[in-house]
Amino acid sequence: MPPELPLRTDRLTLRLHALDDDAALLDYYSRPQVARYLLDEPWDESTARTRIRQHAAKDGLDGPMGALAVVVELEGRVVGDVTVWRTDRLHRRAEIGWVFSPDVAGRGVAAEACRALIPHLFKDHGLQRIEAQMDERNTASARLAERLGMTREAAFRENWWNRASGPARSSTG
Ligand SMILES: CC(C)(COP(=O)(O)OP(=O)(O)OC[C@H]1O[C@@H](n2cnc3c(N)ncnc32)[C@H](O)[C@@H]1OP(=O)(O)O)[C@@H](O)C(=O)NCCC(=O)NCCS
135-157 pLDDT, tens digit per residue, is 989 999 999 999 999 999 999 88
**Rounded distance, CA 142 to CA 160, Å?**
17
pLDDT of residue 159: 81
Q: Does residue 145 lie in a domain region?
A: no
pLDDT of residue 168: 55
Q: Does residue 40 lie in a domain region?
A: yes
Centroid of ligand 1 to alpha carbon of 112 (angstroms): 10
Hey, how many other C-beta atoms are within 10 angstroms of the C-beta on 38?
A: 17
The DSSP output letter for 21 is G
**Residue among 81, 141, 146, 163 whose CB has most ligand 1 atoms within 8 A, to mutate:** 141
**Which residue's CA is the closest to the ligand 1 atom numbered 45?**
99
**Rounded distance, CA 173 to CA 171, Å?**
7
pLDDT, mean of residues 11-23:
98
Q: Does residue 86 lie in a domain region?
A: yes
Ligand 1: residues with CB < 6 A are: 34, 37-38, 97-100, 105-111, 134, 138, 140-141, 143-144
**Which residue's CA is the closest to the ligand 1 atom numbered 21?**
108
The residues, ordered by sequence, that sit 6+ positions from 27 with a Cβ below 8 Å of its Cβ are: 101
Residue 5 clears pLDDT 80, i.e. is over it: yes
Q: Are 14 and 113 in contact (CB under 8 A)?
A: yes
pLDDT, mean of residues 39-57:
97
Is the omega angle on the peptide bond into residue 167 within 30 degrees of 0, that is, cis? Answer: no
Residue 169 clears pLDDT 70, i.e. is over it: no
State the burial class of residue 27 (Cβ atoms within 10 Å of its Cβ: 0-12, 13-18, 19+).
middle
pLDDT of residue 29: 98
The CATH number given to whatever domain includes residue 95 is: 3.40.630.30
The residues, ordered by sequence, that sit 6+ positions from 108 with a Cβ below 8 Å of its Cβ are: none
73 confidence band (pLDDT: 50, 70, 90): very high
Q: Does residue 149 lie in a domain region?
A: no
Q: Does residue 91 lie in a domain region?
A: yes
Centroid of ligand 1 to alpha carbon of 64 (angstroms): 31
2 confidence band (pLDDT: 50, 70, 90): confident
**Which residue's CA is the closest to the ligand 1 atom numbered 14?**
108
Q: Does residue 114 lie in a domain region?
A: yes
pLDDT, mean of residues 112-124:
97
Q: What CA–CA distances, in Å, run from 66 to 17, 88, 141? A: 16, 10, 23
Q: Which residues pair with 99 in a beta bridge?
A: 81
Residue 167 clears pLDDT 70, i.e. is over it: no
Phi, psi for 23 (deg, rounded to 5) = -65, -40
- Domain holding 55, by residue range, is 7-133
pLDDT, mean of residues 28-54:
96
Q: Does residue 173 lie in a domain region?
A: no
**Residue among 100, 152, 163 whose CB has most ligand 1 atoms within 8 A, to mutate:** 100
Report the number of distinct structural domains present in the chain: 1
Q: Does residue 82 lie in a domain region?
A: yes
| Tally of CA atoms within 13 A in the half-sphere of 129 that contains its CB | 13
**Residue among 107, 115, 146 whose CB has most ligand 1 atoms within 8 A, to mutate:** 107
